[in-house]
Amino acid sequence: MFKKIIVNDLMQQGYTYFLTEPEGENFDPRFKPDLTPKQMLEMGVFGGKYMTDCQNEFPKNWFTKAKLCHEFHDPKINFFGLNASQSLTIWQKKGWINSNDPRGWFQWYCRYYLGRRDEDDDRQIKRWIAMKRHVSQVKKYCPVGEKLCRPKQRQALLHWAYNSVVL
């Protein structure tokens, strides 16, 4: 029997999905994120604002050490201390938002990680794969372990579950 999740937060009311895979397992073979959603939240992503009203949907332990800001998007909370995000309005204009995941890629990843599989998986995985070009640029232009080199690009990679800290 699959676990049923019912979402009621500021951006979705009454949205239902099912967890059909074990948490953190059985990923598409093309999709090998370096970081779990919990690790990303602890490191500092999306200015801390991203997950402040939907914590009931996800495991409590994801938020024990999460760097969050309920009031506003605070770039200082990000691991690299700067803004590397585009607004939700831009994401919507570019067609990056699927109605099942109105917050975008990270919401998709959190739900995928929990065990949801849906029709948007292939598109989102292809978007994740496309971020590898940024990994290549950091590796090409930055000495290994030099965290101050290309910090905005590194923060953006963290938003996509790539551990740019170790590059």
Report DSSP state, residue 81: S
**CB-CB contact of 98 with 116 (8 Å):** no
Q: Which two tokens stand for residue 164?
A: 């740019």
**CB-CB contact of 84 with 157 (8 Å):** no
pTM, full prediction: 0.95
Q: What is the pLDDT of residues 68-111, one digit of tens each?
A: 998 889 999 999 999 998 888 898 899 889 999 999 999 999 99
Q: What is the pLDDT of residues 17-35, one digit of tens each?
A: 999 999 999 999 999 999 9
